[in-house]
Structure 1
Amino acid sequence: MTAPLLLLLESNTTGTGRQFAARARDLGVVPVLLSADPGRYPYAAEDGLRTVVVDTSDGDALRSVVAGLAAAEPVAGVLSSSEYYVATAAALAADLGLPGPSADAV
């Protein structure tokens, strides 16, 4: 069985993004960084993190990429270590019927 994906929307640059990805791997899921510019996060390349380049300011583009990933592989969750993207991650998780905070509440 294929390990489910954990979609990480952008990242915090202070280190928690790397911690999120490492913990995801520890839990047996595959972290996937969705980012407009993955190069902003050196740990992504250093740790061999799977990345998808997408305009994270474009809701339609994000929904399309997330739907495509979910159609191809199981997705366990969508989240962000960057406070700016928490509501967007919550909305994307809801689109997939995944648990998470209410996008309206965050």
Structure 2
Amino acid sequence: MNRLVEQDRAEAEAAVVAFPVPARVAGRPALLIPHRGEGLDEAALPGDYRKTLAIVQAADGPVQVRAVGEELGLEVAVRGKLEPLRAKMSKLADRGWLHERPDGRCTARR
């Protein structure tokens, strides 16, 4: 547990990253999504995150996860198919790329 805390602390200190950084979490490879900041654009995100962000940016207003899933061609009738997308959108919101509204819909940050 302490090793993970130390790894998180070291990653936070090196938070100014231009591209996603491969990392290991619990011994498995993981891809870190950078925080949105000056000098970073969508190119710093992995492809599937860029697609999700582009769909939200192209929308006329706030979008639900279901609408993004439909656009991506996911089977939206099955809730389990949308949960990974919901997690990605939440991660984008946590990192400042999207704004997640209290009703669960998302808008793009400009």
- Tell me the TM-score normalised to structure 2 length: 0.31
RCO higher in structure (CA 8 A, sep ≥6): 1
Structure with larger Rg:
2
Name whichever structure is richer in strand by fraction. 1
- TM value normalised by structure 1: 0.31
